[in-house]
Amino acid sequence: MKKLIIACLGAFILGTSISYGATYQSPIPVSTPSFDTDVLEHYNGDVEGINVHFDINKDGKVENVELQGSTGDWAVDTAIVEAVSTWRYVPATDSAGNPVEASKTEYIDLDV
């Protein structure tokens, strides 16, 4: 019984160490065009920047874009969401090199 417990414990430790040694590759930006800054011409808000959270699918396309707050200006908010929705990435990969979904938050500076 003691040998069985030691063998199981050894297998658990080996399996755990292998999974911790796995390499995850973060998504890499390929195309991240800026939003249409013409909308800032009439923007007189106090917000100097805003965080945008989004998902990157296995094809590297951006989905589920959400502002983390608001600039207070519908046109500016919409322009940011529309621009980020067009961004493309080399997708994140798991330890075996398979594409996986990822989430990311980026800061958009309104001081352009």
Contacts of 82 (CB under 8 A, 6+ apart): 35
pTM (2 d.p.): 0.76
Percent of the residues in the chain that have a pLDDT greater than 70, as a whole number: 79
Of 2 and 72, the structure prediction assigns the larger pLDDT to 72
Instruction: Write the pLDDT tens digit of every residue in 13-41.
Output: 444 444 455 699 999 999 999 999 899 99
Instruction: Write the pLDDT tens digit of every residue in 60-70.
Output: 999 999 999 99
Q: What is the three-state SS of 37-105?
A: HHHHHHCCCCCCEEEEEEEECCCCEEEEEEECCCCCCHHHHHHHHHHHHCCEEECEECCCCCEECEEEE
Give the Cβ contact number of residue 80 at 10 Å. 21
